[in-house]
Amino acid sequence: MTTPAKDDIPVQATRQKAVLPLNTLVEWPANPRKTRNTESIRKTASSLVANGQMMPCLVYAADAKGLHYVIDGETRRQAFNLNVDDQKMEADEPVDVTILEGDLSEADLLRIAMVVNTDRENMNPIEEMEAYASMAKAGMKPVEISQYFNISARQVTQRIALGDLIEPARDLVRNGERNIRWAEAMTMGSPAQQEQIVNEVAANPHAWPDGDSVRSRMKNGAIPVSSALFDPDLMADSIMLDLFTTSTDTTFTDSDRFWELQNAEIDKMSEEAGKTHKRIDIFRGRRFNEAGWMTGGEPADSVAVIIVRDDGSVELKEGMVPPADYYADEGQDSGDIFADASAMFGSDLETTSDDSVDTDSATEEVKAYDPLASATKATEAYLEAQLVAQLRNRAASDHRVSMAFVIAQTLTRNGKLASSMEITGYNLDAEDRTSAVFQKISAREAAIQRILSDSGLLGIRSPARAVEILLGLEDDALNSVFSWFVSQSVNPGLTDTAFDVCNVLGETPLEGWRIDEQYIGTLTNAQKRALAVEVVPESELPSPSASLTVVTKTTLAAVENKELQGDWTGPSNSWLPPQITEGLESAFARAEKAAEAAQALLDAQAEDAGDDPVAAPAPAKKQAKKAA
């Protein structure tokens, strides 16, 4: 950045050289430099004793009593006072000064301080940004600041935003614990969000180490402004801006307020559609499967489908004709299992109705809304890593299973079960995961590393030499190494294959897992509240207006104390995500269907041969059925 010349002082200011007593010079409260190097002050003090004062201080009258603020030269003033404390100088030691005279505003003084400060390039970034913010608050427009210092107006806006960081966040940058990129990302958050991150950094110095991690945290659960059906200006004070990237995406930070306004617009949309359509069906948090539906129906004989997504976006599909018998079961009583959730979420869970439509075509949602049934991408990735880790651990601990995986993959070429020629998958660092399965993997990896190290296999480059060493291992050691390397290629994902294999092996997905902070962090705000409704005893449930922090803490406390509500527990006394329970149920259903088909084939063969019927093996139930 280009800096104006040091003589470029406002025309209304004049300068007068003088000598003033040291005890009449005081620190200027608005000085943009807040941090001083103690060693630099001590060196300056020694130089003043040895060589005298080489450069005058720039001062401005503080009041009519003869006191003067030091605009430039605060390090020298403190060095003089250090010599006074060491009894090397007198309190009224004469000091060479240049007095600024004239009617100067604080903005003028700040501008002068920024220009004449010879150490300006060494100022802490936060201090420089605070100076721009102070100049703006003192009356200078951003365009004036930009023109004066030869920077863009956008840069000025960015620096003023940095000046609005809460003080503890500034301190982290001043002290070098976080850099300026981290500070830039922090400006996206409200003071409350900034405070929460600073508190977490205080508790764990490795938390939120850079700008990318802070941006990810700020955007978690935020709703795109583009999703709003209402005028975004109604929530202008809740719009999150990222001034330091080229992204034009903006989001709302107050999800409760957003849904209050958005639901009002959805109600209007439903009312308008109800005037022309036979029925309105609202899909909230559940996927609209268009299979069997037809478009282009006459409104009076068709359905208007309103799809409300977790990101706040809304889509209206008019003239939809449903498959036959689609609404055949809607008269059955679905129970009141979500009564508490309804109280917690309000209109998000209520059956939609419209008085403007006759009673024969009442508007209603087909099923009770379960926010947790619709997984976010982060939740799917989290659960996928858990399931993959469990299958890898099983393959690594049993060489027969690992051999079966490789052979099954080779035979079927399907499922991404295992391939000894390809190592892919997830970061399974035990430090980042709370489930016991990750601890087991970490321990097993350490054991394999010891085998490789003791045998001389680590770092070896010759395949022939590696084969020679491997063949010299004991059978147990060779089996362990083989199983481990095969296990590292297991990567079926959160798929039918994964659940089917778990069923065959008698593995319960997420066995030993329990709700943790990382899992909750993958959920949307609505899902976090829904989770609390499911697992927290009714007497302990936070109020609907409770903050998400309180909701999360209450949920984790219930899990920690094993005081889970009702029958929401799995075989390991832990609530399981619906994506897991549904996967288990589907796997068992497929196993039963396969068993029935096998039995039918055996019966047919026996009938052809005139033999007695033969019973086919029962489908694998084991722990998987229990969990489902």
d(CA 597, CA 584): 20
**Amino acid at residue number 264:** A
Of 154-158, 187-191, 384-388, 530-534, give the lowest mean pLDDT range: 154-158
For the chain, the domains span 1-164, 165-215, 219-255, 265-369, 377-494, 517-575
For the segment(s) 1-164, the CATH number from 3.30.70.100, 3.90.1530.10, 3.20.19.10, 3.30.930.10 is: 3.90.1530.10
pLDDT, one tens digit per residue, over 309-321 is 878 889 999 988 8
The per-residue DSSP string of 299-368 comes to GGGSEEEEEE-TTS-EEEEEEEBPPTTTTTTTTS---STTHHHHHHHGGGTSPP--TTS-GGG----SS-
Of residues 373 and 433, more confidently modeled: 373
For the chain, give me the number of helices (H) and strands (E)? 23, 11
pLDDT number for residue 165: 83
Give this prediction's pTM.
0.38
The per-residue DSSP string of 417-475 comes to ---TT--------GGG--SHHHHHHHHHHHHHHHHHHHHT-TT---HHHHHHHHHTS-H
Task: Calculate mean pLDDT across residues 579-600.
Answer: 82
Assign 404 a pLDDT band (cuts: 50, 70, 90): low
pLDDT number for residue 624: 39
pLDDT, one tens digit per residue, over 199-225 is 988 888 888 888 888 888 887 777 888
pLDDT, one tens digit per residue, over 237-293 is 788 877 777 666 788 878 888 888 998 999 899 889 888 988 888 888 667 777 778
Q: What is the mean pLDDT of the chain?
A: 75
Task: Calculate mean pLDDT across residues 95-104.
Answer: 88
pLDDT number for residue 416: 55
* DSSP tag of 176: T
d(CA 306, CA 277): 12
d(CA 437, CA 576): 16
pLDDT number for residue 84: 94
- Per-residue pLDDT for 340 more than 50? no
- Per-residue pLDDT for 566 more than 50? no
pLDDT number for residue 351: 36
Task: Calculate mean pLDDT across residues 45-62.
Answer: 89
pLDDT number for residue 115: 65
Task: Calculate mean pLDDT across residues 178-184.
Answer: 85
Give whole-number Cα distances, 502 to 245, 507, 585, 591, 598, in Å: 45, 5, 12, 12, 20
Residues of the chain above pLDDT 70, percent? 74
User: According to the per-residue pLDDT averaged within each range, which of 465-469, 501-505, 604-608 is highest?
Assistant: 501-505
Sign of CA dihedral 268, 310, 243, 196: positive
d(CA 615, CA 286): 41
Residues of the chain above pLDDT 90, percent? 9
pLDDT, one tens digit per residue, over 537-559 is 888 888 877 888 888 888 888 88
CA-closest candidate to residue 159, choices 206, 110, 204: 110
pLDDT number for residue 555: 86
pLDDT number for residue 408: 59
- Per-residue pLDDT for 6 more than 70? no
